[in-house]
Structure 1
Amino acid sequence: MAKKSKIARNNQRQVIVDRYAAKRLELKKALVDENGTDESREAARKGLQKLPRDASPVRLRSRDAIDGRPRGMLTKFGVSRVRFRDMAHRGELPGITKSSW
């Protein structure tokens, strides 16, 4: 189990990323626009700099949805490899069976 403060911090960052996602995308498009002027690109760069640091999705950490484990994530299922194995053995994941050959 991860520290509750780490889980809470990551959840707060997710809220901030969601809040600024549209504005961030708009500014990023203005930066790479070939038809834009140098002034508009400069303004877009300044606008990106004014956004909160936590508005960048790079600062998010993918964590297990159940216990917050930060490593060994299976993003398709939203759980860590340890939790996935336990859930698969108990039959809680439909269509997942243990391999045997």
Structure 2
Amino acid sequence: MAKKSLIQREKKRQKLEQKYHLIRQSLKKRIRSKVSPLSLSEKTKIREKLQSLPRNSAPTRLHRRCFLTGRPRANYRHFGLSGHVLREMVYECLLPGATRSSW
């Protein structure tokens, strides 16, 4: 099980990302807009606004964690579980449609 402080930190990052998502998208859209070309000084002002946003509000700072244990590695997106938890659940027949491999 992951430390509770790390799990809480990840939840805080998710909240910040949701809070600043629209602001970040609108600023990026203004930089990339081809309809009205911006001067270099206008682009730098917009970039400064982007950089002034909290660092943890960037979506790249988010990390997927296991739904049950909070483990940050070996996560399967489809199930939201880490590898060893997924394996245990398949062995106990808790995941419908998943089969154990045997060769």
Q: Same fold (TM over 0.5)?
A: yes
Separation (CA, whole Å) in 1 of partners of 2:2 and 2:18: 23
- Give the structure-2-normalised TM-score: 0.88
Structure-2 residue corresponding to 1:73: 75
Separation (CA, whole Å) in 2 of partners of 1:78 and 1:16: 21
Q: 1:63 aligned to 2:53? A: no
Moved more, 35-44 or 63-72: 35-44
Aligned length: 101
SS at match of 2:15: helix
Checking the alignment, whether the CA contact within 8 Å between 2:31 and 2:38 is kept in structure 1 is no
Structure-2 residue corresponding to 1:51: 53
Structure-1 residue corresponding to 2:31: 31
Moved more, 75-84 or 40-49: 40-49
Root mean square deviation, CA, Å: 1.4
How big is the shift at 1:88?
1.2
Report the residue type matching 1:56 in the other structure.
Answer: A
Checking the alignment, whether the CA contact within 8 Å between 2:63 and 2:72 is kept in structure 1 is yes
Q: Deviations over 1:53-77 (max 9, x none)?
A: 1110111121111111111111111
- Give the structure-1-normalised TM-score: 0.90
SS at match of 1:91: coil
Checking the alignment, whether the CA contact within 8 Å between 1:63 and 1:69 is kept in structure 2 is yes
Separation (CA, whole Å) in 2 of partners of 1:60 and 1:85: 25
